[in-house]
Amino acid sequence: MTMGRWAQNLEAEIPGYGASTLRLRNTQTAATSRALIAAAGICMLRAAIVPWIMYYSNPASRSAPTDLEIVTTSILMMCVFTTAAMTVRLAPLMAAMICLTVFAGVCTRDALAYPDLMQQGLISKTLIGIMLVRAVMNAIMSRTM
């Protein structure tokens, strides 16, 4: 007996089994979408706050990225995360993995280009990373339902 037939038999024996499975899948997909929206919100805050912090921080760090570069990168990441959150109903795991890959690429580029400023924005990067990992975990759970 294959797994598909087993699930069909279980659905026939237990009324509402298919509906509860679908409800759980939709709940996990919604949690994935919420995590991606939260990551996009943190990117929006980062685009608004980091230039202000850099303006009032130590002016001796001239190798720092420009305000325009930080704002542009944060806004582009916010757009990617928001677009993925809107398409999460179609393919939740793919959307979450794309966001995690884009974020890892941006963090790697920043670390290689500005190694002395790697700790700058560490809290926001950590929060975004946590949200994206939660999105991937929820997407995996919705896929296995």
Can you give 20-59 as a three-state secondary structure string? HHHHHHHHHHHHHHHHHHHHHHHHHHHHHHHHHHHHHCCC
Domain assignment present for 2:
no
pLDDT at position 134: 92
The pLDDT of 7-35, averaged and rounded, is 69
Inter-residue contact 93 to 101 (CB < 8 Å): no
Domain assignment present for 109:
yes
pTM for this entry: 0.73
pLDDT at position 2: 46
pLDDT at position 111: 84
Instruction: Say how far apart CA 5 and CA 22 lie, in whole Å.
Output: 17
Can you give 94-110 as a three-state secondary structure string? HHHHHHHHHHHHHHHHH
Domain assignment present for 5:
no
Read off the DSSP letter of residue 14. S
pLDDT at position 1: 41
pLDDT at position 130: 93
Number of domains the chain is built from? 1
The pLDDT of 89-99, averaged and rounded, is 91
Residue 18, C-beta contacts closer than 8 angstroms, at least 6 positions apart: 11
What is the domain range of residue 86? 17-144
Measured in residues, the chain has a length of 145
Residue, of 15 and 32, whose pLDDT is higher: 32
30 token code pair: 């919604």
Q: What is the dihedral of CA 112, 117, 121, 126, to 10 degrees?
A: 50
pLDDT at position 110: 83
Domain assignment present for 50:
yes
Domain assignment present for 6:
no
pLDDT above 90: residue 102 = yes
Residue 16: left (phi > 0), alpha (psi -120 to 50), or beta? left
pLDDT, tens digit, for every residue of 38-83?
999 888 888 887 767 766 666 555 555 666 777 788 889 889 999 9
pLDDT above 90: residue 136 = yes
70 token code pair: 């930080």
pLDDT above 90: residue 105 = yes
